[in-house]
């Protein structure tokens, strides 16, 4: 199987490394990614630790398919207690780094403690070395990458690294993988920075073991031949969503006060294709090629080495800020990438400040004279600099909108768009209403990667019938059937977070079962796989319950249920709080959680994780 059986443990305080081999049943229950990470975090982190203290652990993990030449399996995950939310945190990146780690002989790397000076980790074919990074600290990511490759004398090295945002402990700093793939959310870059760890450089030349290479090959060939029938991302990449969502009235605009943006066409995937597009790129073994590299000349000078903006970045640095200048948006994206900032949280933080500014809650006195109005592209670029360097007004925004609004006060909290402290991604809950509830209940706060995207299921139920959901469920609905979809399909998404299979490569349920079997040699089933996903989701829930999160934290911003858009297709659409509370209660029930959202003892038994009972038993009666 592609699982190596080896987990590398690195203690940066003591500068020691160790090898663990938890055995086949461990992998079969927890797989990798989120499942593996939460297993270790829940068992090894003490209650209430500081996410930016040495007690936190940062875990990089692949999954059971990692390294196999199968489209969509190029992802890897990195998790820790989140400095943004105080809850369970993880994020995934596509690319090649995960496969390289597998070929270097490891399924996961657990990083503990804190180095007393900047270091990077060098992993090659079963060996690990902690090396000085003093000379690299403070460098932009591209420069840092060049220096590490040159120093180690191998241009094929894959590098996961933080930029200055992570070094400076910006709470939503990301981890860049080979400059263009990002583990963006939940502030994992800040955790890495807090450990004085600049980078994890990996090189592996071992062959990934496959139980049934012939079937793996057939599956890969099938996707290669059918990708354009089953994926719509080949043409424009994720940027295709700009036009699509704007037409549906759900393109987040001016800090979520509108769902339609006059300048949508100027920042659309079509415009990128026709103007600043350089080339398409892919992840490991993937024919979808959804990545777009862009280049812009004067005055913005966007360096193609940092790739190009995805949909989330275009919306959060564009429409959400009322900016229709594509070159500026591309520059903002490049800056975030080079500094290691999550574009979503960055954009939402600036949007928050802009709305506060326009409403008079902030003035030029607060912002150092910067006119933080919607549409001001130069202000956006300046704020990115300030946030990454944690200086001037940007220092406040570098804390994320939840903390920023607490610092600013003056009713600014109303405009701080987050759930559990994590800034909300570019998907509108008034359209994708199931996703809205998904935002509420996700263990990582507002998150679109551990969530359902209702638009998939609106037209036809074919995709969900094998789950036993037989009827099409309307997009704008949060009734019982939608909550069943959120639970069932949510578990499927969670499985993807454990196999690290990309949601943009639309493998069928059956194909994923076949992939797991062909790679690992296990005889499995969709039942077993969905339980893997549910197990991971439930353990994350346990982690957060233990940390003191309650159902009150599972609520969406009142802006979404109290207000509706003044115009566009979603005009007039809003929820009542009672509807949302009912939906939340139904989701809890279907997940086997009690009315306070605490997983029942029976659910833990059902999932074979009775060992987690001790962490939450005290929360029940």
Interface contacts to a copy of itself, rule CB under 8 A: 25, 28-29, 462, 465-471, 480-481, 483-484, 487, 509-510, 522-528, 530-532, 586, 588-593, 600-603, 605-606, 608, 610
How many other β-carbons are positioned within 10 Å of the β-carbon of residue 581? 16
Closest CA to 302 of 328, 271, 273, 272: 328
User: Rounded to an integer, what is the distance from CA 333 to the centroid of its chain?
Assistant: 16
Cβ distance to a copy of itself smaller for residue 282 or 601: 601
**What DSSP state is assigned to residue 567?**
S
Closest CA to 481 of 491, 490, 471: 471
Token pair in block for residue 452: 């359902």
Cβ distance to a copy of itself smaller for residue 383 or 483: 483
Q: How far is the CB of 79 from a copy of itself (least distance, A)?
A: 23
| Residues 227 and 288: beta-carbon distance below 8 Å | yes
Q: How far is the CB of 605 from a copy of itself (least distance, A)?
A: 5
Q: How far is the CB of 509 from a copy of itself (least distance, A)?
A: 5
Cβ distance to a copy of itself smaller for residue 532 or 616: 532
Q: How far is the CB of 602 from a copy of itself (least distance, A)?
A: 3
Cβ distance to a copy of itself smaller for residue 29 or 345: 29
Cβ distance to a copy of itself smaller for residue 48 or 617: 617
Tokens 């990996």 belong to residue: 202
> In 479-520, which ranges are E strands?
none
Burial of residue 442, with CB atoms counted within 10 A of its CB: 0-12 exposed, 13-18 middle, 19 or more buried: buried
Q: How far is the CB of 340 from a copy of itself (least distance, A)?
A: 38
Cα angle: 504, vertex 508, 513; to 5 degrees: 115
Cβ distance to a copy of itself smaller for residue 26 or 126: 26
Cβ distance to a copy of itself smaller for residue 210 or 495: 495
Q: How far is the CB of 349 from a copy of itself (least distance, A)?
A: 37
> What's the CA gap between 448 and 12, in Å, rounded?
32
**Contacting residues for 71 by C-beta, under 8 A, at least 6 apart:** 220, 223, 224, 227, 285, 286, 287, 288, 502, 505
Q: How far is the CB of 471 from a copy of itself (least distance, A)?
A: 7
The pairing of strands 422-423 and 418-419 is antiparallel
Q: How far is the CB of 493 from a copy of itself (least distance, A)?
A: 14
Beta-bridge mates of residue 90: 79
How many other β-carbons are positioned within 10 Å of the β-carbon of residue 415? 23
Cβ distance to a copy of itself smaller for residue 213 or 610: 610
């Amino acid at each position: 199987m592609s699982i190596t059986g080896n987990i590398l443990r690195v203690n940066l305080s003591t500068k020691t490394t160790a090898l663990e081999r938890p055995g086949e049943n461990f992998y079969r229950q927890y797989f990798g990614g989120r499942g593996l990470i939460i297993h270790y975090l829940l068992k090894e982190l003490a209650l209430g630790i500081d996410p930016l203290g040495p007690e936190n652990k940062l875990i990089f993990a692949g999954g059971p398919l990692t390294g196999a030449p199968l489209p969509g399996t190029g992802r890897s995950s990195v998790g820790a207690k989140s400095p943004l939310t105080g809850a369970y945190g993880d994020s995934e990146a596509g690319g090649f780094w995960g496969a390289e780690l597998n070929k270097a002989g490891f399924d996961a790397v657990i990083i503990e403690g804190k180095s007393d000076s900047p270091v990077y980790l060098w992993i090659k074919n079963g060996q690990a070395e902690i090396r000085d990074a003093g000379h690299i600290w403070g460098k932009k990511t591209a420069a840092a990458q060049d220096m590490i490759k040159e120093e180690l004398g191998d241009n094929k090295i894959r590098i996961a690294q933080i930029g200055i945002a992570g070094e400076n402990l910006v709470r939503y700093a990301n981890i860049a993988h080979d400059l263009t793939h990002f583990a963006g959310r939940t502030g994992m870059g800040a955790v890495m920075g807090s450990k004085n760890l600049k980078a994890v450089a990996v090189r592996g030349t071992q062959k990934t073991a496959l139980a049934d290479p012939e079937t793996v090959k057939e599956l890969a060939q099938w996707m290669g031949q059918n990708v354009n029938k089953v994926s719509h991302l080949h043409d424009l990449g994720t940027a295709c969503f700009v036009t699509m969502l704007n037409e549906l009235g759900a393109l987040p605009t001016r800090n979520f006060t509108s769902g339609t943006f006059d300048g949508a066409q100027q920042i659309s995937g079509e415009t990128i294709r026709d103007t600043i597009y350089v080339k398409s790129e892919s992840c490991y073994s993937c024919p979808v090629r959804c990545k777009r590299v862009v280049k812009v000349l004067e005055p913005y000078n966007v360096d193609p080495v940092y790739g190009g903006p995805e949909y989330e970045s275009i919306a959060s640095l564009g429409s959400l800020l009322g900016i229709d200048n594509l070159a500026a948006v591309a520059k903002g994206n490049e800056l975030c990438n080079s500094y290691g900032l999550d574009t979503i949280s960055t954009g939402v933080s600036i949007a928050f400040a802009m709305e506060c500014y326009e409403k008079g809650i902030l003035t030029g006195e607060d912002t150092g004279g910067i006119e933080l109005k919607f549409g001001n592209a130069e202000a956006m670029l300046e704020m990115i600099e300030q946030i990454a360097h944690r200086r001037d007004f940007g220092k406040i925004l570098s804390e994320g909108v939840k903390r920023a609004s607490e610092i600013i006060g003056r009713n600014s909290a109303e405009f701080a768009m987050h759930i559990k402290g994590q800034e909300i991604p570019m998907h509108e809950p008034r359209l994708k209403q199931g996703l809205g509830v998904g935002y509420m209940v996700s263990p990582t706060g507002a998150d679109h990667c551990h969530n359902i995207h209702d638009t998939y299921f609106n037209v036809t139920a074919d995709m969900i019938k094998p789950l036993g959901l037989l009827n099409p469920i309307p997009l704008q609905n949060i009734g019982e059937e939608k909550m069943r979809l959120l639970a069932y399909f949510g578990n499927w998404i969670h499985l993807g977070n454990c196999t690290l299979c990309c949601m943009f490569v639309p493998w069928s349920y059956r194909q994923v079962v076949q992939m797991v079997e062909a790679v690992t040699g296990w005889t499995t089933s969709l039942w077993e796989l969905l339980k893997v996903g549910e197990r991971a989701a439930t353990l994350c829930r346990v982690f957060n319950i233990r940390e003191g999160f309650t159902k009150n934290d599972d609520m969406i911003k009142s802006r979404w249920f109290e207000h509706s858009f003044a115009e566009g297709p979603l005009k007039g659409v809003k929820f009542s709080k009672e509807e949302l509370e009912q939906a939340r209660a139904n989701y809890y029930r279907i997940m086997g959680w009690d009315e306070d959202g605490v997983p029942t003892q029976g659910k833990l038994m059902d999932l074979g994780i009775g060992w987690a009972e001790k962490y939450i038993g005290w929360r029940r009666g």
